[in-house]
A and B are shown apart, each in its own frame.
Chain A
């Protein structure tokens, strides 16, 4: 695949041999948003990297609405430009490609990333940044925030952090980020999409390790596992505060259970690969941050506590035989008790939630039931915990939500010995 995309680049930019910075834009039917995004990127490149050699790369996975042409026209002659078509096995854009959608809503997004990494290596680019054309809020500043830590500070990976509305990103805040922090000892927000920065060292590593791309976790959840791999492999991870993320929700984007299965499945999947690393990790550390610190806003995303509680109670009623297999008797007893509480008094205790997540990770490892079933059966439990967080913090300000998230992360760290014991001696 590397050779094929490199030939496409060479056909369009035969004089480009090496660059300092590769700017990539994976795309799929995003003509409605891509214009302003490209303008912002070009402006950012001119203001921050006027003297650097740059290639603007569009990796399009089969748009039918002329997105690549629009990108080419918008970039114009301002920068060397190439548009490539990653190998997507003819699946992108097809009606039958629904199973190829990751929760990003873009088919074959992973193949687009791989192609970009392949070009990064061939061009010996010191840094590569990948931006998401569906994010309307990309500004010129993003380019510098993502690329400068790599070009000037020795970072290998720059992950995005966005200002969020109250309760936004509940899966990340309640599960992915605390678990990643407890496992690998890096306090990363694990937010996804928008933009990322990679050093050549990291992109080559990702490209060369075929095993990373295998399985559903590798194929459908690249946004989740890049951060996991970067922290687990000990790369220099930075975070860039990019402000707000305003994104079009794609019609083909996955539903809640698929999104949860992909994101949590990726984290559990890499727990097996990096067992030796996370078992030894005992404490967590902050990672360097660039940009203006972001905050949780007072305004809340639409959230229906009653519907979440209904989902939890239905799970309790119908999925009990499955939870009996996944959870330990102690954890299950705790979960069963929750069914007796009234809506307003409902609380899913944090230690019980952590125990639930750790039991699920062990069950995933032990393959006690089909893994996709296991992951999807966690949805009602996740809804229960999220409803509990909303009820616990509804009278407080955004700071209270932030404190709850931080307390969650700390509890995941404190209870890690429980995970290690169960993982080893199950």
Chain B
């Protein structure tokens, strides 16, 4: 009885020891990956920030209206810094997932391949989002200036409508790209966008027919209106 108990204990200990011996390199691999992730992530962050500073990316973002948009949204950091941090976390997470994969746990067996498979969608969504914000600001600003120069009442309202229209369109595209509630997003977007266009068409057709006629005549008419500035 005593021998059996002793054998069982030794066998269990050996089993545990051999598992531990087998797991230790994996754990070390995880730690190594994490440290590599930290080091390479930091390197990428610093390099990227320097490159963006050299090419005056901040000035570009300022000019395109991205910086003011992010400031309004409560983001206080400079864009190169933000991009650098984003790059750091992408690199770090990439290494962290490799480390987790190296542990060879049943629960995380396909984690890396699943993440790598989804990564292009995330990158595309980020790019679409950034471009969308830039486009929204650019078109909003252009419409505002054009409406003010045409002395249209409610110029700011029109510009905001255009800006938010582009933002909504961008959000719909981002969500579709990420595959989040795809059908609902498409349906909701179609209803909202179609509704706005339909409402505007009815408003113009019923209420603003004479104004539209006047605007078109002024735009394409051969005779210059007496109301226009001719002294330039």
Contact = CB atoms under 8 A, between A and B. Distances in A.
Interface in B55-96: 59, 62-65, 68
Interface string A160-190: 0000000111110000000000000000000
Contacts of A63: none
B209 interface: no
B141 A256 contact: no
A211 interface: no
Given A256-B229, A304-B227, A373 B141 contact: yes
B149 interface: yes
A171 B151 CA distance: 19
Interface in B218-232: 220-222, 224, 226-232
B231 A257 contact: no
Given A167-B231, A302-B226, A319-B144, A251 B220 contact: yes
B201 interface: no
5 contacts: A302-B231, A304-B227, A311-B149, A319-B144, A376-B145
Given A168-B231, A307-B151, A369 B63 contact: yes
Interface string A299-333: 00111100110110011001101100000000000
A170 B145 CA distance: 21
B63 A256 contact: no
Interface string B131-163: 000000010011011111101000110000000
Given A251-B222, A311-B151, A318-B155, A301 B231 contact: yes
A311 B147 CA distance: 11
Given A311-B149, A318-B156, A373-B145, A169 B59 contact: no
Contact of A370 (B63, B230, B232): B63
B224 A249 contact: yes
Given A168-B231, A376-B146, A314 B141 contact: no
Contact of A170 (B63, B68, B224, B231): B231
Interface residues of A, number: 39
Interface string A359-377: 0000000111110110011
A368 B62 contact: yes
Interface of A: 167-171, 249, 251, 255-257, 259-260, 301-304, 307-308, 310-311, 314-315, 318-319, 321-322, 366-370, 372-373, 376-377, 379-380, 383, 386
A373 B142 contact: yes
Interface of B: 59, 62-65, 68, 138, 141-142, 144-149, 151, 155-156, 220-222, 224, 226-232
The list of the 7 closest CB pairs from A to B, nearest first, reads: A257-B149, A301-B231, A379-B149, A171-B232, A376-B145, A170-B231, A256-B229
A314 B227 CA distance: 17
Nearest to B56: A367
Pick from B142, B149, B155 the residue with the most CB of A within 10 Å: B149
Contacts, number: 84
Given A307-B151, A315-B148, A373-B141, A260 B64 contact: no
A311 B227 CA distance: 13
B49 to A, nearest CB: 21
A307 B229 CA distance: 9
A303 B149 contact: no
B144 to A, nearest CB: 6
Contacts of B63: 367-370
Given A319-B145, A373-B145, A380-B148, A314 B155 contact: yes
Q: Which of A255, A259, A260, A310 has the most chain B CB within a 10 Å cutoff?
A: A255
Contacts of B59: 366-368
A157 to B, nearest CB: 24
A318 B148 contact: yes
A319 B231 contact: no
A366 B122 CA distance: 34
Given A257-B149, A304-B227, A370-B63, A318 B144 contact: yes
A394 B76 CA distance: 51
B141 A310 contact: no
Given A373-B145, A376-B149, A302 B230 contact: yes
Nearest to A172: B232
Nearest to A173: B231
A256 B231 CA distance: 10
A308 B220 CA distance: 23
A314 B142 contact: no
A184 B218 CA distance: 39
A149 B147 CA distance: 46
A170 B220 CA distance: 25
B155 A256 contact: no
Contacts of A368: 59, 62-63
A319 B148 contact: yes
A74 B142 CA distance: 46
Contacts of A311: 148-149, 151
B149 A370 contact: no
Given A168-B231, A370-B138, A377 B151 contact: no
A255 B220 CA distance: 12
Contacts of B146: 257, 376
B227 A307 contact: yes
Contacts of A319: 144-145, 148
A302 B229 CA distance: 8
A256 B148 contact: no
A302 B227 CA distance: 9
A315 B152 CA distance: 11
A260 B145 contact: no
A52 to B, nearest CB: 38
A167 B68 CA distance: 39
Given A256-B149, A311-B149, A369-B63, A322 B141 contact: yes
Contacts of A308: 229
A149 B220 CA distance: 41
Nearest to B68: A321
